[in-house]
Amino acid sequence: MNFLIYHPQLQRIFEALGLTILHSLWQGLMLMVLLWAMLRLVRYEKARLRFILAFGTLMLMLLAFTTTFHYEWDSLKPIATVSQSLSAESITLTEFKVSSAPSFWEQIKSETYRLFYPLAENAHILAVAWFIGSLLFSLRLSLGLWQIQQLKQKRQALPAYWLSKAAELQKLLSIRQRVEICINNRLDSPLTLGWLKPMILFPASMLTAMSAEQLESILVHELAHIRRHDYLWNLLQSIAEVILFYHPAYWYIASVLEQEREHACDMITLKITGRPQVYA
């Protein structure tokens, strides 16, 4: 990482980022344990509340990440400012130690340094590794969005009967948005896209392989995703994944979100159709 030596500001960014990643390990662990405890207290049937708790925990992880980065960035400011006017031979970091009693955050910080000293000493390397991983996950997200656009372009009209049926179901679900429902031959399972202009894509094979009652149940399930604005929440989760991809707590929260999202739509479907055996 010799190139960082010649770019003090860039080195400062990577050092602050690396230390932020280290702190996020214990921060995320604490939030994960808290979420796990809360989910034990909420009944399985309350999928909407469980989803809100998990999504709120994810947002807290992001908030902790950004707040910690701001703190680490500020803590490096005095060193960066002094280093511009004084040479390394005339001054050392030890001369900037504060004599006052350490704050709670500083105590946590010192304990983190003690536990992860080898990593803290090479925080910039950790940050570079994070940057590469974040770039790969960003490319993955961009590729997924591009594939969605390709699927939209290869859609076909749904039979008039099902368009009429979908309009009736939208009224039952209190969906005021215009929902476009189409067929796509490249899909193996239904797909709900968009937030402001939602769209449901059905595999063409489903229209002939399933009964009318089964198709209606699946249609209600996909409309339930639109009612819950799941596409928007899923997009925000994907953005969070670009930042927190390295953290085990994120993948735990992501699994909870996926499970509760589908469970909530299942509950709505059963409430509307009243046919649990057909839906199963």
pLDDT 10s digits, 65-103: 999 999 888 877 654 444 444 444 444 444 444 445 566
pLDDT at residue 162 in the model: 87
Return the closest-CA partner of residue 231 out of 180, 181, 197.
197
Q: Write the pLDDT tens digit of every residue in 180-204.
A: 999 888 888 899 998 888 999 988 8
Per the listing, tokens 């159709």 go with 273
pLDDT at 136 over 60: yes
DSSP 31: H
CA distance 120 to 272: 55
Distances (CA, A) of 147 to 40, 229, 239: 38, 20, 17
Of 1-10, 130-139, 160-169, which gets the smallest average pLDDT? 1-10
CA–CA separation, 118 and 262 (whole Å)? 42
Report whether 51 contacts 261 (CB < 8 A). Answer: yes
pTM here is 0.81
pLDDT tens figures, 4-45: 545 667 777 888 898 899 889 999 999 999 999 999 999 988
Ramachandran sector of residue 174 (left: φ over 0; alpha: ψ -120 to 50; beta: rest): left
Residues in Cβ contact with 276 at an 8 Å cutoff, skipping those fewer than 6 apart: 270
Residues 6+ apart with CB under 8 A from 108: 23, 26
